[in-house]
Amino acid sequence: MPPTTPEMPPDDSSAASSSTSSAEIHTKVLQGRYELGRVLGRGGSSKVYRARDVRTGVHVAVKAVRKPHHPCSPEDAAAARRSVARELAALRRVQGHPHVVRLLDVLTSRTTVYLVLDLARGGSVQSALEERGRSDEPVARRLFGRLVSALAHAHARGVFHRDVKPENLLLDERGDVKLTDFGLCAFADRQLGPDSLTGTACGSPAYVAPEILLKKRYDPGKADVWS
């Protein structure tokens, strides 16, 4: 089936209701459906909240990505829109794998796009390493094998992550790994040249392939494996 151009969800100014919040605890309800709780993490233009589906009582994660706002250059605004659309398109392509985070819903307001995702109750691999130190070899081998399976699934669907690192690997309540955060991904059918290489440098310096640090063109699939 031919790929579709990534699209932003339609705007709904009622997505975010009035709220009472502190620095970390929120009581905002989105479209009468998702009650936001504490902040789980932050990015450059996003926050991730623990939330509850008020219809079912199920706890989820909500990634709130701010839309571009003034003062913002047209170039920066366009780049921000592309990043959100790219992450949505990637998540939709790679659904169905047990070790890729599930996209459950998408909401939007005038200022924010909300991605409703599975809640990873075990936090990130990075936080686990910081709290408990390195894993035993059998545990590390199991997690690595499941990460490789998730990447192979994404690559088979033409999605290259380009930011594989412990912060972007989540753990569920059973300790199983979930690959998340496709905001820097590339698509095989849209962003790569005929030689299947890309020249866009991205990712975290501690984990990227050497050719990216050297500002050379690189194979994004092999770069994912290096990371």
Q: What is the mean pLDDT of the chain?
A: 84
Q: Is the pLDDT of residue 128 over 50?
A: yes
Report how far residue 198's alpha carbon sits from residue 186's, in angstroms, rounded to the nearest whole number: 9
- What b/e sequence results for 104-142 when a residue is b if at least 16 CB atoms lie within 10 Å of its CB, and e otherwise? bbbbbbeebbbbbbbbbebebbebbeeeeeebeeeeeee
Highest mean pLDDT among 37-46, 102-111, 148-157, 218-227: 148-157
DSSP 8-state symbol, 208: S
The number of beta carbons lying within 10 Å of the beta carbon of residue 103 is 19
Residue 182 near residue 90 (C-beta atoms within 8 A): yes
Q: Model confidence over 74-112: pLDDT tens digits?
A: 777 677 777 888 889 999 999 999 999 999 999 988 888
172 is catalytic: no
Domains and CATH numbers, the chain: 29-118 (3.30.200.20), 125-226 (1.10.510.10)
As a whole number, mean pLDDT of residues 127-143 equals 92
As a whole number, mean pLDDT of residues 147-172 equals 96
Query: Which segments are annotated as binding site for ATP?
Result: 67
**For residue 30, what are the contacts with CB-CB under 8 A and spacing of at least 6?**
15, 16, 17, 36, 51, 62, 107, 114
Q: Which of 12, 118, 136, 163 is catalytic?
A: 163
